[in-house]
A and B are shown apart, each in its own frame.
Chain A
Amino acid sequence: EAGVVQSPRYKIIEKKQPVAFWCNPISGHNTLYWYLQNLGQGPELLIRYENEEAVDDSQLPKDRFSAERLKGVDSTLKIQPAELGDSAVYLCASSRAGGTPYEQYFGPGTRLTVT
């Protein structure tokens, strides 16, 4: 079974430029998460999707960040414009949907460097 796929693995951009990250979850996983991981810290949730609906985006900085999950499968996270402080690893995870919080499976992440 294929794991969570993310691309690109690395991205270097100048500040004020836009950037987008793509995620393909594990087949059959209806729940998709985007996390932000700063160096030396644990991941922090940005947004959670149940199918195509964003059910928790309370931690997403909506002035510059946006996300979508069309058709309830792949998802894209966008930053526009990027700031120096956005340099971090962006992780995508997926899990089964259900009545209890199932374990989340993570992709390899996209390491963003804003110069």
Chain B
Amino acid sequence: AQKVTQAQTEISVVEKEDVTLDCVYETRDTTYYLFWYKQPPSGELVFLIRRNSFDEQNEISGRYSWNFQKSTSSFNFTITASQVVDSAVYFCALSEAGAGGTSYGKLTFGQGTILTVHP
């Protein structure tokens, strides 16, 4: 069975600080996909990144960066120079990649990390 653990329930930082959100996953599949979503106070989940299990290159997009380490089953997310607008709940999620299976495409989410950025 798949499982995603986000051990940090809440994080509070002051604007311009860097912050890292941890994500650890469990799966028996050799091929899988990892995702990060942002859920601002408005409630709508916003897609941030999708990464497959064969691509361990780190990725940077503006102030956002992701560190994927297969050896430790982690897919951590760092926000550099945080801003008040980054305040939201962030979810890490995992999906099997076996096409044709009934659970194919099913996202298993972590519990989420509430990030509060203070001015």
Contact = CB atoms under 8 A, between A and B. Distances in A.
A41 B95 contact: no
Contact of B95 (A101, A106, A107): A101
Interface in B93-119: 93, 95-97, 99, 102-107, 109-112
B42 interface: yes
A104 interface: yes
Given A42-B93, A99-B99, A101-B95, A108 B44 contact: yes
A75 B35 CA distance: 25
Contacts of B93: 42
B14 interface: no
A42 B91 contact: yes
A100 B102 CA distance: 13
B43 interface: yes
Interface residues of B, number: 28
Nearest to A109: B43
B11 interface: no
Contact of B107 (A43, A55, A111): A43
Contact of A104 (B42, B47, B104): B47
B47 A103 contact: yes
A91 B93 CA distance: 15
Given A55-B102, A56-B106, A101 B97 contact: yes
Contact of A43 (B50, B104, B109): B109
A102 B97 CA distance: 10
A40 B114 CA distance: 9
Contacts of A45: 106-107
Given A42-B93, A100-B52, A101-B33, 7 more contacts: A42-B111, A43-B91, A56-B102, A56-B103, A102-B50, A106-B47, A107-B44
25 contacts: A40-B112, A42-B109, A43-B107, A43-B109, A44-B109, A45-B107, A56-B102, A56-B103, A56-B105, A56-B106, A99-B99, A100-B33, A100-B99, A101-B33, A101-B104, A101-B107, A102-B50, A102-B105, A103-B35, A104-B47, A105-B47, A106-B37, A106-B46, A108-B42, A109-B43
